[in-house]
Structure 1
């Protein structure tokens, strides 16, 4: 079975507010063990978490060896104050504060650094991303600081401007990457960045009634086009489902993600090998140097 290259032990796939309430005062051990059991039952032995501000990912990493799981975590994600990211981490106002958070993550046992450079998909406006992306020069300096401290960088990023900035800055993995254009995809293919598309975060919503399918379907279709391009251009790609997000369960979420890849590209040995190579890149880079 493939590893899960993008998960959030904090979240439960059902109700974000209830999940946060459960952990707000102290990371809930039984909930974390339930999450780890789901991966164990799905025969997933590698998980890379996207972080949280409550210590849930850190607790999962400490308990994971009991379940035969190699669990990697940034401890918390880092965002610029006033921009998206508070739900999964801590914010900064200037690069000195960003550096301080990188050091803090390291002191708390981070395997890598997670940065937030853009907002989310705007499900009310197709093709739009919420908020304003960070400036390319700032992203470049953030990545440089993290690399200088010996960390690989995982970047939550959407939109053409944001993805180009992240790729040019040298992020080690690009999470989501919605709305890239072909030129940006070519940049990705020519880089060392591994793309983790998290397809099921949108695909699993179709038909559930939470958002209009007329908005969701074009997003999913564009993601399929980009995935075909990435495969054809031999970009580095790995499987991650964003497990814990709404309607993306821990354990089975990564199975759904692989099924999505197979539906789009075919269930072939070439696809399997491609994804195995992408996961190998993640495993080799995202640990303390």
Structure 2
């Protein structure tokens, strides 16, 4: 069975605010046990988390071995104050403050650094990303500082320009990476970075009534086209479902992600082998 290369153990796939509130006065370990049980029952033995600011993923890493799970976490993600990312980590205003957060991750035993360089898809539109992207010069320095401290870098990034900048800056994986264009795909294919598209989030939303199905279906079609182009270009990919996000349950989310890839890339005989290669690269880097 594939591993889950992008999860959020703090989230419950139902209500983010409620999920976070369960840990406000201390980590609720029953949540962690429930999610790990779901992974264990499906034979999923690798989980790479996106971190949080309440110590949930840190405690989860201590619990994971009892479930036979190889669990990796950045402890918390790092974002620039005033930009997207507060829901999963800690913010900075200056580069010295960012460097201090990187050192804090090291002190807490984090496995890698996760940076937030853009917002998320705006599900009310097709093609827009919330908020403003971080400038290339800042992203480059953030990656440099993390690498100097011996960490690989996971980048939450959306949009063609920001993904291109992240790749040029030397990130080791791009998470989500929605709305890439041909130039960005070429740059990706020439890099050593791994792309974790978390593609199942959008089709799982179709029919839920929260957003326009017309918009969601358009985003889903576009995502499929991008993945097919990237696959043909030789971009290294790995399966990660964004487990814990709305309507993406832990464990089942990865099965959904695998089904989405099979539907998008039907007929590709080396599909499983190439995705396994992407996962091995994730394990080696992170």
The bucket for the TM-score relative to the shorter chain is over 0.9
**Aligned match of 1:241:** 241
Structure 1 position 269, deviation (Å): 4.2
**Aligned match of 1:23:** 23
**Aligned match of 1:85:** 85
**Aligned match of 1:59:** 59
Secondary structure of 2:22's match? Answer: helix
Structure 1 position 24, deviation (Å): 1.5
CA distance in 2 between counterparts of 1:214 and 1:61 reads 40
| Residue 210 of structure 2 is aligned to residue 210 of structure 1 | yes
Structure 1 position 125, deviation (Å): 2.1
CA distance in 2 between counterparts of 1:239 and 1:134 reads 26
**Aligned match of 2:219:** 219
- The TM-score with structure 1 as length reference comes to 0.98
CA distance in 2 between counterparts of 1:275 and 1:65 reads 24
| Runs of 4+ off more than 3 Å | none
Secondary structure of 1:204's match? Answer: helix
CA distance in 1 between counterparts of 2:43 and 2:140 reads 37
Give CA-to-partner distance per residue, 1:115-165, whole Å, 9 cap, x none: 000001111221110000000010000000000000000000001121111
Structure 1 position 208, deviation (Å): 1.1
CA distance in 2 between counterparts of 1:25 and 1:216 reads 37
| Residue 48 of structure 2 is aligned to residue 48 of structure 1 | yes
Structure 1 position 238, deviation (Å): 0.4
Q: How many equivalent residue pairs?
A: 286
**Aligned match of 2:257:** 257
CA distance in 1 between counterparts of 2:276 and 2:124 reads 35
CA distance in 2 between counterparts of 1:152 and 1:207 reads 38
Secondary structure of 1:250's match? Answer: coil
CA distance in 2 between counterparts of 1:24 and 1:35 reads 18
Structure 1 position 182, deviation (Å): 1.0
Secondary structure of 1:240's match? Answer: coil
Give CA-to-partner distance per residue, 1:248-285, whole Å, 9 cap, x none: 00011101000000011026540000100000000000
CA distance in 2 between counterparts of 1:24 and 1:71 reads 23
Structure 1 segments unaligned to the other structure (5+ residues): none
CA distance in 1 between counterparts of 2:25 and 2:214 reads 39
Instruction: Report 1:26-37 matches (<5 A).
Output: 26-37=26-37
**Aligned match of 1:14:** 14
**Aligned match of 2:182:** 182
| Residue 98 of structure 2 is aligned to residue 98 of structure 1 | yes
**Aligned match of 1:132:** 132
Secondary structure of 1:266's match? Answer: coil
**Aligned match of 2:3:** 3
**Aligned match of 1:144:** 144
- The TM-score with structure 2 as length reference comes to 0.99
CA distance in 2 between counterparts of 1:109 and 1:74 reads 8
